[in-house]
Chains A and B, each alone.
Chain A
């Protein structure tokens, strides 16, 4: 028997019963990771993980994270290990401290085992631009499907069954979209609930830390353990088995853009099932031009902030350094030779929109558009508890498929939750041709507990709990 493919709760029960030890589980995880063929690994921490498992002490019944192995997106600092952001320029960059979220997880005796791949510096949505190449979707043995990004390795690893959870970061949809493509729960709590100290800064006003799990209750547990300021409303015990009176909004012009028949049919059935559990479903209007403004606004603000956040990648004080005869030549060569194409293009757009002559037309207008979008969403939340929508228009696309023009809204609407700092969660909705698609719920700021409770009810309706490929089948 192997002890992979289990949720946190299932593994914990085996620890408490004495059926298995953390060291046995860590050895299984290391064996599975060593055989991974989806390109999920940036760095491994096998020796340290073995040591932590050996020295963990007696089982702690009340601590569900005791001995639980996990993966870490490689833009999150782990003491004395390389944190590369999947960028060549940082491929040997050692972080001398643990990120705040790692400290909290270690305090609860969870065990980090490896760092995972991402789109370079988190800038991408497909898991294809990291310096180690494409990360693949474990649901496709032919290695043709993307896993999504930017938290690609974390999503692929949890969907493969290697570990019960992984850390990711989400600036536009970088946890919730890959979760849709891999049949996982992908949760980003309200902005700031989980301390971002030690997370590489991409777009500070949009960046969130969050989790990939295979059950909603595991996501709730992780929020409970890692949040900065404990709020009694966030307790897992608050998850209830009904949705009586929950007011759920469907944005009409957004839903009208979806074409996938299997997805639409399952979505509409789900709405009826939610009503049967006591929820009140309403279709609400939304300015279509505001919906269209989401993606360009995201691009402008994210590129601008990313240009600033990454201006320290010069090779002077850290990272790769190319040779040159002057200070300027060193910086130019270092950046040109060690930053990938996609990241460069985003920096260029960021520089363009921040220039004095363009500032009003682009950057300031984007800030205004953000204000309009957040105001419109907050207005929905005055009358509704959640917004519900499919997390993606389809199953995971192929690596070489390009995004079609005209699909920007349904491909990028999840960024709404980053615009407003709202808690947002993807849970599996259906499998079509054996490939998953997720459903997304977003709620007002600090409604994390209610959101988790509603998501738990969806999980109960769909029965899609602990979905994974099963590492032994890879």
Chain B
């Protein structure tokens, strides 16, 4: 990834469009970020290290059972005007 076209392509995959100012800022920040990651080249132990997802066994997580619910959840109803008959409304156009 080296140029504006690449960055815009990356943004598009996230459903984002960048203004010129945002693109300029990202160019600067991305170069800084890449430079920071060069430290990994100086860590030979990385080659044999195991990836760490989480550092210790978690004893307090509780999973709730999934529940089938045909009606829109209360938080969705609270937070969008775009509903009709318990469905979310969208334009009919599909690309």
Contacts and interface: CB of A to CB of B under 8 A. Distances in A.
A96 B75 contact: yes
A293 B53 contact: no
A258 interface: no
B37 interface: yes
Given A330-B91, A336-B16, A317 B79 contact: yes
B5 interface: no
Nearest to A315: B80
A442 B80 CA distance: 43
A374 B55 contact: yes
A348 B26 contact: yes
B50 A368 contact: yes
Contact of B21 (A193, A328, A341): A341
Given A229-B60, A332-B15, A421 B55 contact: yes
A420 B37 contact: no
Nearest to A350: B14
Nearest to A347: B14
B60 A374 contact: no
B14 A365 contact: no
Contacts of B26: 344-345, 348
Interface residues of A, number: 65
A88 to B, nearest CB: 14
Interface in A334-374: 335-336, 339, 341, 344-345, 347-349, 351-352, 361-362, 364-365, 367-372, 374
B50 A371 contact: yes
> Most chain-B Cβ atoms within 10 A of its Cβ — which of A93, A195, A326, A369?
A369
Nearest to A311: B14
Contacts of B36: 295-296, 299, 408
Contacts of B32: 405
B25 interface: yes
A370 B52 contact: yes
Contacts of A318: 75-76, 79-80
Given A290-B43, A321-B80, A352 B18 contact: no
Contacts, number: 159
B85 to A, nearest CB: 16
B43 A369 contact: yes
A352 B10 contact: yes
Contacts of B33: 296, 299, 349
A328 B50 contact: no
B68 interface: no
B13 to A, nearest CB: 6
Nearest to A290: B43
Contact of A420 (B29, B55, B74): B55
Contacts of A351: 10, 13-14
A93 B76 CA distance: 10
A228 interface: yes
A296 B15 contact: no
A322 to B, nearest CB: 11
A368 B90 contact: no
Interface in B1-51: 1, 7, 10-18, 21-22, 25-26, 29-30, 32-33, 36-37, 39-40, 42-43, 45-46, 49-51
A325 interface: yes
Nearest to A357: B1
Given A289-B39, A326-B91, A344-B16, A419 B76 contact: no
B90 A365 contact: no
Contacts of A374: 52, 55
Nearest to A227: B60
> Most chain-B Cβ atoms within 10 A of its Cβ — which of A336, A348, A445?
A348
Nearest to A313: B15
> Most chain-B Cβ atoms within 10 A of its Cβ — which of A314, A318, A420?
A318
Given A348-B14, A370-B52, 15 more contacts: A97-B75, A289-B43, A292-B42, A296-B39, A316-B80, A317-B80, A318-B75, A326-B93, A328-B15, A330-B91, A336-B17, A341-B21, A361-B40, A368-B46, A371-B49
Interface of B: 1, 7, 10-18, 21-22, 25-26, 29-30, 32-33, 36-37, 39-40, 42-43, 45-46, 49-56, 58-61, 74-76, 78-80, 82, 88, 90-91, 93-95
The 3 closest A-B pairs by CB, nearest first: A367-B51, A371-B52, A318-B79
26 contacts: A94-B79, A97-B75, A192-B58, A205-B54, A292-B39, A296-B40, A299-B36, A300-B37, A316-B88, A317-B88, A318-B76, A321-B80, A332-B12, A333-B17, A348-B11, A352-B1, A352-B10, A367-B53, A368-B46, A369-B46, A370-B55, A371-B50, A372-B43, A372-B46, A408-B36, A445-B56
